[in-house]
A and B are shown apart, each in its own frame.
Chain A
Amino acid sequence: MTENFKPKITLFHCINAFDEAAELSLTDMDNCEMQTVKMACSSMVKDVFLLKAFEAGADGVVVLVCPESQCRYVEGNIRAKKRVAWVQNLLDEIGLDRRRLALGNMAAGDKAAAAQIINDVLKNLAELGPNPAV
């Protein structure tokens, strides 16, 4: 879309799935601006936080959680998945497009998986353009 569109991404992650070190090594994805929000468990992703991230100007939002059945708190990641799906529907309803929001399961420290998920959203954003509600 826009030539010099540098998407802003807000990344919510569970500290069990993703650690500081791995996060830092992601800076090689410098074609985007990244803001990260750490959570003790992915079950803390509330729908309103995801929406607020968009209100604050994010073009895309990514939620990284542990693989299903590997949540330290049993079902936190399943909850997160359902919330994300709910907000995706809301995004469609208000015309922002569900593809701006993604959830990925990743094993602890699996940088490649994290990069893959973020890249997918970046691809979507290249097509969708900047957040139309800012």
Chain B
Amino acid sequence: MIVGEQKPISEIKEIIAPYKKILILGCGTCVKTCFAGGEDEVAVLASALRLACKKDGKEIEIEEFTVERQCEDEFIREGAPAISRNEGVLSLACGAGVQALARRFVKIPILPGVNTTFIGVLEKQGVFTEECSGCGDCMLAIFGGICPFTRCAKKLLNGPCGGSQNGKCEVNPETDCAWQLIIERLKILGQMDNLRAYVPPKNWQTGLSGGPRKLVREDHII
């Protein structure tokens, strides 16, 4: 899923400062799961902002609404009436959701309330970790299911570096060294030969380096 984190209230206050009537629009998919922008977070943020504005003597009307998914037109549509009756929309979706709204509602400022951080997993309740950077050419098969481009701080293809110690990454002792994990996993899988093989330079063209990407599924286009 896409993991994100709500922006600090102080920053949100600045972002919405020019508006007197705003809609806080949540998204019920990824950002809900990571407690950044689901219905509950919309309610809390709205309440906190109302208190903050009142305290500062600023008048503001805040409407709350959450759609199932902000990155899809079909779901955005449900929010259309609420969106059109406000001066601005504070979106609590990921960056894609914010842009999907901006694309559809050209005349209304769409503002981000969330910092979108990564594609990750729920490691355990309340803890999310980054796992994939969407490189467009998945090589997990040779790395024992652990992505070095995302989880090694130096994106090493032929790691580990000389700083790996006690299973931890030299960059952050809280983080596991991805290469230690890869080696352990390959050992279990009996695929240590993968480590002896030279991994040639990665072709980054399939990633963001090749420019923004587009996926077309002819079979689904009517």
- Residues of A at the B interface (CB closer than 8 Å) are 46-48, 51-52, 54-55, 90, 93-96, 132-134
A133 contacts B47, CB within 8 Å?
Answer: no
Bound-state CA distance A52–B51 (Å) is 9
The 4 closest A-B pairs by CB, nearest first: A94-B52, A51-B47, A133-B54, A133-B55
Residues from chain B with Cβ under 8 Å of A133 in the complex: 50-52, 54-55
B44 contacts A51, CB within 8 Å?
Answer: yes
B10 contacts A55, CB within 8 Å?
Answer: no
User: How many chain B residues touch the partner (CB < 8 A)?
Assistant: 15
Scan B1-41; emit 1 where CB is below 8 A from any A CB, else 0: 00000001110000000000000000000000000000010
Scan B151-176; emit 1 where CB is below 8 A from any A CB, else 0: 00000000000000000000000000
| Known contacts A90-B9, A93-B10, A94-B9: A55-B44 contact under CB 8 Å | no
Residue B111 at the chain A interface, CB threshold 8 Å? no
A93 contacts B55, CB within 8 Å?
Answer: no
Residues from chain A with Cβ under 8 Å of B54 in the complex: 132-134
Min Cβ gap B221→A in Å is 42
Residue B138 at the chain A interface, CB threshold 8 Å? no
Interface of B is mostly: helix
Can you name 13 A-B residue pairings with CB atoms under 8 Å? A46-B40, A51-B51, A52-B47, A55-B51, A90-B44, A90-B48, A93-B10, A94-B52, A95-B52, A96-B51, A96-B55, A132-B54, A132-B55
Residues from chain B with Cβ under 8 Å of A96 in the complex: 51, 55
Scan B51-67; emit 1 where CB is below 8 A from any A CB, else 0: 11011100000000000
Bound-state CA distance A46–B43 (Å) is 11
- Considering the complex, give the chain B residue whose CB is closest to the CB of A52: B47
- Residues of B at the A interface (CB closer than 8 Å) are 8-10, 40, 43-44, 47-52, 54-56
B43 contacts A94, CB within 8 Å?
Answer: no
Residues from chain B with Cβ under 8 Å of A51 in the complex: 44, 47-48, 51
- Considering the complex, give the chain A residue whose CB is closest to the CB of B8: A93
Min Cβ gap B54→A in Å is 4
Most A CB atoms within 10 A — which of B40, B48, B50, B56? B48
Bound-state CA distance A47–B6 (Å) is 15
Min Cβ gap B76→A in Å is 24
